Structure 1
């Protein structure tokens, strides 16, 4: 009887290991992106100065601890940002484009000019994100990076290279925050 209770307790604990709470944000252990089930790879908090800006979580088809492999991976994935502060579209776009520039050459950024303009248009249409809003960046190989806000798709930007540049914001050689990179990689 004691053995059965121990086994049941172990099974119950294993079922909840994947779910995570970060800065008061509950992150499910898996999400559904179209027909694909993705698992939580890791999460972290983006801070700027002394302010918590958002909780970021990375979902992949299977767990991965190599940033290079995740960036090169050409399968479905989701980066989700749970906003802890409000930001105007101008500040949001500025933060994304500046962070992309950290890991890309001017020529590489110029090659993505059309995609960057499209991202700016999407963020401008959103106008601002508020505390509690959720931004999703879903990569779907057949169509590109679908940007959503609070469950509503706002636009899709074609190209794997653009998505790699987005992932480099958090996982690149020069991530926006080293401890966030570690968290997204499951550390």
Structure 2
């Protein structure tokens, strides 16, 4: 093999290695928070479906990202999607467990009718107890709510498991509706999680 060929071959190989390394490190960035393009959950590779900012009045509260096995852009498709699912929340300010839990419970109540809630009332109660046990969430803390097939809903804070499995799939869909239901907690976060480009302009909803 000629020296020039070896040099060219080595250069191409180095470029390919660099390109592959760059690709594996890609992440979406929202409000300065980087979210992985893919995550591994329950032996599945999940893709970032969409992400955006939760505002309260003019204040940024957290970044939320939705992960699915395949990207979906309608609510029925997201709710019906098979396999594992994840919502990742990264706090942008300090929030008490009471405030965050109250907001989540309000989101569930606003997007689930009475007959639905009867089916998972026990899990709803346990969900409230989970937030009661979590200390104040600080800026930069990460909360994940995972749906794991044949297991249930599992919640982690900064990688630490804080819940037993909540097995009813309709309960996990009730959680998803907090952000993508008919009355989402933030009207501009919903389309962002469904794959539209996130907006960072403040708005007046509470």
Q: TM-score, normalised by structure 2?
A: 0.80
In the alignment, structure 1 residue 122 sits paired with structure 2 residue 133? no
- Name the counterpart of 1:94: 102
Counterpart of 1:162? 171
Q: Structure 1 residue 131 and structure 2 residue 108: aligned?
A: no
Q: How many pairs were matched up?
A: 180
Q: CA deviation at 1:46?
A: 0.3
Alignment of 1:1-187 (within 5 A): 15=23, 19-155=27-163, 156-187=165-196
Moved over 6 A (4+): none
Unaligned runs of 5+ in 2: 1-11, 197-206
1:109 Cα deviation from its structure 2 partner: 2.4
**TM-score (structure 1 length as normaliser):** 0.88
Structure whose CA Rg is larger: 2
**Greater strand share, structure number:** 1
- CA deviation vs aligned residue, 1:87-112 (integer Å, no higher than 9, x gap): 22211211011011111113322432
**1:18: how far off?**
6.0
Whole-Å separation in 2 of the counterparts to 1:182 and 1:117: 29
Q: Give SS of 1:90's match.
A: helix
C-alpha separation between the residues in 2 aligned to 1:18 and 1:60? 17
- Listed as ranges, the gaps of 5+ residues in structure 1 are none
